[in-house]
């Protein structure tokens, strides 16, 4: 398989501050990564598609100025939640697309639980 690592796994921040979450593909290069958000007892909601070297593509209803995405290298994408508020508390999950001989697969990080107090 392939390994995708997120950091931090848990973070607590004060309302109004910004938080950065990292997503790394450890053993493969990923030109495309995806960011999801998941509220308790709900499914994953796709927030945006992160493309290496270009601007992210956001899903409808996701504020691009609030959720800043940077994909500066083939192994790292970051999601920054700016001016966080309690309603931004959620489980954030990234995935990275790996192309191989068997096709294209998406591998997921372990998730980051954000709590805004």
Q: Give dist(CA 83, CA 6) in Å, integer.
A: 21
Pick from 11, 20, 80, 108 the residue near other proteins by CB under 8 A: 108
| Cis peptide, bond prior to residue 37, ω within 30 of zero | no
- The interface region with other proteins, picked from 13-21, 61-69, 72-80, 90-98 by CB under 8 A, is 90-98
14 vs 102 by CB, closer to other proteins = 102
84 vs 93 by CB, closer to other proteins = 93
Which residues have CB under 8 Å from 117's CB, separation 6+?
Answer: 12, 13, 14, 15, 86
DSSP 44-101: -EEEEEEETTS--EEPTT--TTTEEEEEEETTEEEEEE-S--GGG-EEEEEEEEEEET
Please report whether residue 113 would count as binding other proteins according to CB under 8 A.
yes
Please report whether residue 76 would count as binding other proteins according to CB under 8 A.
no
Residues 45-64, interacting with other proteins (CB under 8 A): 45-46, 49, 57
Query: Which residues are near other proteins by CB under 8 A?
Result: 1, 4, 6, 32, 34, 36, 43-46, 49, 57, 91, 93, 95, 97, 103-111, 113
């Amino acid at each position: 398989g392939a390994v995708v690592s997120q950091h931090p796994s848990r973070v607590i921040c004060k309302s109004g501050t910004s938080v950065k979450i990292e997503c790394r593909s450890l053993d493969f290069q990923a030109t495309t990564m995806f960011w999801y958000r998941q509220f308790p007892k709900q499914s994953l909601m796709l927030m945006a598609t992160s493309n290496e070297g270009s601007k992210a593509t956001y899903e409808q209803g996701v504020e691009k100025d609030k959720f800043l995405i940077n994909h500066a290298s083939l192994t790292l994408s970051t999601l920054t939640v700016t001016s966080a508020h309690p309603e931004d508390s959620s489980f954030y999950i990234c995935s990275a697309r790996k192309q191989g001989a068997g096709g294209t697969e998406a591998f997921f990080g372990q998730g980051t639980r954000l709590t805004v107090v």
